[in-house]
Structure 1
Amino acid sequence: MFQMKIKAMANLMGISISGLRKYEQYGIISPRINKTTNQREYDGMDMGHLFNAKRYRQYNYTMDQTAHLLNETNLDDILLHHLDMGDTLNKEIQYAMRRKERLMEIINFIEEARFDIETFSIRRRPAMWLLPLIEDEKLIEGEAISDNRKKWISDIPSSCVTLVHSYLESNLNVKEFKYAISIYESDAQLWEQERIHQVEVFEEQDCVFTTYLHTSEYEFLDRIEKAVQFIDKNGLYISDKILTRGVLFTNGGKSLYREIWIPIKRKK
């Protein structure tokens, strides 16, 4: 029976010597100790176990799971493990596809900002969840809201710092707004996010959409004033709160490109 030394086995499998020893610690391989050289030696069974273990690891099984599968004799149990992992991988594919969609939205935003910034169009705003962020110039605390905020920021690709503006037709200079974090409702459902009572839902809605480079409050007020002109010209009116989302920082954070969603309805 052929024997391989630890360095040769590590080179063959493309892992480090310390990594090889980790497989040994989990009982996946069982090298024998050469009494003459006092070195580990590996046989064909060890090599086969390592090949299978490496394959399991590629499917995202943990070392514990890998060791269990390699020592399991019940085929029904092995099948259930693989079916569960198949479900997990399908979910990861959904996550990856959604992240790609969100990345394409940013790419499209940049393309528009390069050539068509400060233009207006009528678009369907996706349904969004908003979680309040700041109140009385302080970060809103509380276990539930903090846990949700952390998950939104760390896991959900549509999460974005958002300002909710109250619009008064009689006063275009109104500056009242609330800070929040927004996510798309479809992302909340995919990531199985709990809707706590602090979450405000903004339903899918027709909006006037525009982008602008925000360096001061003046740009926002200017965009709103021009948006009102566009809305009036098209026989529409502002029907609800205005959302602005910071999409892209440039220039070391000194410049911020924002999108504005202005809910509209047609005048009777």
Structure 2
Amino acid sequence: MQRGVLVMAVALAASGCASSGVSSEPNPADPWEGFNRRVFAFNDVLDRYALKPAAQGYRYVTPDPLERGVSNFFDNLGEVRTVFNSLLQGKGANAGNSSMRFLMNTTFGLGGLLDPATHAGFIADEEDFGQTLAAWGVGEGPFVVLPFLGPSTVRDTSALPVDWYTYPLTYVEDDTVRYSLRGLELLDARASLLDQEDLIRGDRYSFIRDAWLQRRRFEVTDGELGDDSFIDDGFDYDEDAFAE
């Protein structure tokens, strides 16, 4: 299960699924490439000098069992969003499984730190409002890189407010607690991707863009990738690489 809308982290995760470089041809999904590259460069500097070192420090001082517990905790919060969007898409079974995951992990999993629901056989595909808009027939629109958030599309960007308000952390009233949890969530997500960055090949921007688009379309179509002539034949999507 993913957690939240940590899009920059998701982009780096996606890049870890490719085994070779991507095509150098212009991608028709990216008509704003000049602008996007400038925002990407800004985000990359921010990550290199702030987020990545912090994530490395977090991983160094955090025992593996605790790190897994933190990831489980934020994954569990994301079940609320999944239930909401599954219902909007008419995916009753997924909504039911996600509801059971949230109830079981919250009650028997120490507030979500443990994941007994998976061991009990309750598995759900994460759904967000961008996927709901796609199910309703809204086109993805051009690829866009958002400051701080990273890769997105026009459709996914328009979905961000709904995703924000269907995530439980939004309703934590204490600012210190809310910001602390958000920071911990970002650190944990970034730390989980440290081992995957060495797999990036060729032009970093193109690789991450094409890999992110490939993965996002996989999520939107529930695993039906389809053809994309702008991804090399060597691109190998491995769903297991995204399992946490």
Structure having the larger proportion of residues in strand: 1
Fold shared, TM-score > 0.5 on shorter chain: no
TM-score tier (shorter) = under 0.3
If the length of structure 2 is used for normalisation, what is the TM-score?
Answer: 0.26
Structure having the larger proportion of residues in helix: 2
Q: If you compute each CA radius of gyration, which structure gives the higher value, 1 or 2?
A: 1
